[in-house]
């Protein structure tokens, strides 16, 4: 190629520099992602810690011994997003899911979709949850399927848009008695400690005016959870290192929802610019001592 003048040289140099910058940006991003994954040893562990099962610590700060993998397909359920490697749990959670899905299936339900549980040795995720660390949490989507999912559908599922938070309304065309039954059946299980759902979903369940609503006590309103319910089991008997949460207040909890309605529907007030202050360094939670051996084991 023959360059006729300085302007063509400058133009070519500019193009080459643009290509180089884009390449360096991509490489830098990949290195950042890789280093983050390596930094989180819990995500790097791809096998369970072989031991008698034990949930260690709290739901949001702990680890898991003797985890089991939930089969990706079972009676009445299918696991979604398996590429995340988050389908491990305490044996009691595995048993709960299999029994729960079978019970729903017998009642005429299509397959439920099992999303995040825990990683092979529990511990914290780099992204997504602060809980799910001791193998006793499971996200169950409120979407059902009558057919086996294609690989592409399993890896990148599309959730139901059930909740309009700004209007504090539930799409009753998408919500049916089946979803109500899903929440109720889980809440009535003695192994279940809590079920987190959107406050809008909780409000709908309260508005049904059910004769027997004692089970609503376990159904707790929380941020997000607009297309799935987060089921949390109690600490298994004999797990001396597992820490329970505080007890839930008595009653169906329906009187708590006015606060949530206000928080979700009120217009956002424009923030006033404040002088920049050096951010405080947040200390990482110190895990129970027993977790050091769990994450370090080969």
pLDDT tens digits, one per residue of 185-244? 999 999 999 999 999 999 999 999 898 899 999 999 999 999 999 999 999 999 999 999
- What confidence score (pLDDT) does residue 272 get? 61
Backbone torsions φ then ψ of 144, nearest 5 degrees = -115, 160
pLDDT tens-place string over residues 125-168: 988 889 999 999 999 999 999 999 999 999 999 999 999 999 99
Rounded Cα–Cα distance for residues 118 and 125 (Å): 9
| Contacting residues for 234 by C-beta, under 8 A, at least 6 apart | 136, 191, 192, 193, 244
Backbone torsions φ then ψ of 34, nearest 5 degrees = -65, -45
Q: Which pTM value belongs to this model? A: 0.82
Strands (E), the chain: 54-58, 61-65, 68-69, 73-74, 77-79, 88-89, 111-114, 137-145, 163-164, 169-170, 192-197, 219-221, 228-233
Question: Which residues lie across from 231 on neighbouring strands?
Answer: 138, 195
pLDDT tens-place string over residues 32-81: 333 344 458 999 999 999 999 999 999 999 999 999 999 999 999 999 99
Answer with the residue of higher pLDDT: 151 or 278: 151
Rounded Cα–Cα distance for residues 269 and 152 (Å): 41
For domain 55-266+287-296, say whether CATH 3.30.1380.10 is its number.
yes
- What confidence score (pLDDT) does residue 30 get? 42
Three-state SS annotation for 10-42: HHHHHHHHHHHHHHHHHHHHHHHHHHHHHHCHH
**pLDDT bracket for residue 18 (50, 70, 90):** low
Would you say 150 and 158 are in contact if contact means Cβ atoms under 8 Å apart?
no
Would you say 84 and 118 are in contact if contact means Cβ atoms under 8 Å apart?
no
pLDDT tens-place string over residues 243-273: 999 999 899 999 989 999 998 998 765 666 6
Percentage of the residues of the chain whose pLDDT score is greater than 90: 74
- What confidence score (pLDDT) does residue 6 get? 52
- What confidence score (pLDDT) does residue 3 get? 47
User: Nearest CA to 193 among 102, 92, 292, 288?
Assistant: 92
């Amino acid at each position: 190629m023959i360059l006729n003048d300085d302007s063509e040289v400058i133009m070519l140099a500019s193009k080459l520099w643009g290509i180089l910058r884009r390449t360096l940006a991509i490489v830098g991003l990949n290195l950042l992602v890789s280093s983050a994954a390596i930094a989180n040893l819990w995500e790097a562990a791809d096998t369970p810690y072989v031991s008698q099962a034990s949930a260690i610590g709290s739901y949001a700060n702990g680890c898991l011994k003797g985890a089991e993998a939930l089969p990706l397909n079972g009676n009445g359920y299918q696991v979604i997003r398996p590429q995340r490697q988050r389908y491990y749990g305490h044996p009691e959670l595995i048993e709960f899911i299999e029994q729960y899905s079978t019970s729903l299936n017998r009642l005429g339900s299509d397959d439920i979709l099992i999303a995040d549980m825990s990683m092979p040795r529990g511990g914290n995720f780099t992204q997504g949850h602060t809980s799910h660390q001791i193998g006793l949490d499971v996200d169950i989507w409120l979407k059902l399927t009558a057919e086996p999912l294609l690989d592409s559908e399993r890896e990148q599922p599309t959730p139901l848009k059930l909740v309009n938070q700004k209007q504090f309304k539930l799409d009753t065309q998408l919500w049916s008695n089946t979803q109500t039954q899903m929440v109720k059946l889980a809440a009535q299980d003695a192994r279940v400690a809590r079920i987190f759902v959107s406050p809008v979903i909780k409000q709908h369940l309260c508005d049904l005016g059910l004769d027997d609503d004692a089970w609503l006590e376990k159904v707790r309103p929380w941020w997000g959870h607009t297309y799935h319910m987060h089921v949390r089991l109690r600490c298994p008997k004999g797990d001396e290192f597992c820490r329970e949460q505080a007890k839930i207040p008595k009653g169906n909890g329906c009187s708590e929802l006015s606060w949530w309605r206000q928080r979700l529907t009120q217009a956002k007030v424009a923030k006033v610019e404040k002088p920049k202050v050096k951010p405080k360094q947040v200390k990482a939670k110190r895990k129970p001592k027993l977790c050091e051996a769990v994450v370090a084991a080969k």
